[in-house]
Amino acid sequence: MRAEDRAPRGAIVVVDYGMGNLRSVWQALVRVAPGREVVVSADPAVLAAAERVVFPGQGAMPDCMREIDARGLRVAVLDAARNKPFLGICIGQQMLFQHSEEGDVAGLGIVAGRVCRFPAERMLDGDGSRLKVPHMGWNEVRQAREHSLWKGIADGSRFYFVHSYFVVPSDPDCVFGTTDYGVLFTSAVAQDNIFAIQCHPEKSATAGLAMLANFVAWKP
């Protein structure tokens, strides 16, 4: 049987490229999408047959990009990002961009812009105390523009973050959410059928589950 014949059509597929524990993402999606098939897969044919794709992950961007290519997933991810409802999470957001300072590595180039490290000299809280990098814990996301994935989520809701780098889109119209941590950084971007966020919605309690439910229902 061909891989295409085994691929579950109409499924929500979580891309597995070997970086990070994907079980929490899978569990959260199963919770908000009862009756829907949610699959974790590294098979390009499964991605091709998916109705919508979630692109999560954690770790260093050079390692993530290397694994994408080593597993033959680049073409399938690019195709999904052009043609299906597509959700990038954490490093999955950063990899959509053209270049990262982390390891001086090229990204997938789907969204114009770069990925930068938090500037050490500006990592100060309002009282002058030093902010730690990585940015780890709960923080507010301010909604820069309306979007279907913000439905039912109050502006300024708190989400869970773990990261040392953040995206800097070339086009300000791509910015759909911002967060303040020493600097005001872009925490959510959207472009056509793509929505991508720096935080971890699967670890962000009610607001995160609402975002994932909105993604499951989203018809860009």
Q: What are phi and psi of 214, to 5 degrees?
A: -65, -40
CB 135 within 8 A of CB 118: yes
- Catalogue the E-assigned strands of 141-181: 142-143, 158-163, 165-169, 175-181
d(CA 77, CA 13): 11
User: What DSSP line would sit under 4-36, residue for residue?
Assistant: HHHS-TT-EEEE--S-S--HHHHHHHHHHSTTS
**Which of 220, 182, 173, 204 is closest to 31 using CA atoms?**
204
Positions annotated as catalytic residues are 90, 200, 202
Bridge partners, 136 (sequence order): 162
Dist. CA 180–CA 35, nearest whole Å? 38
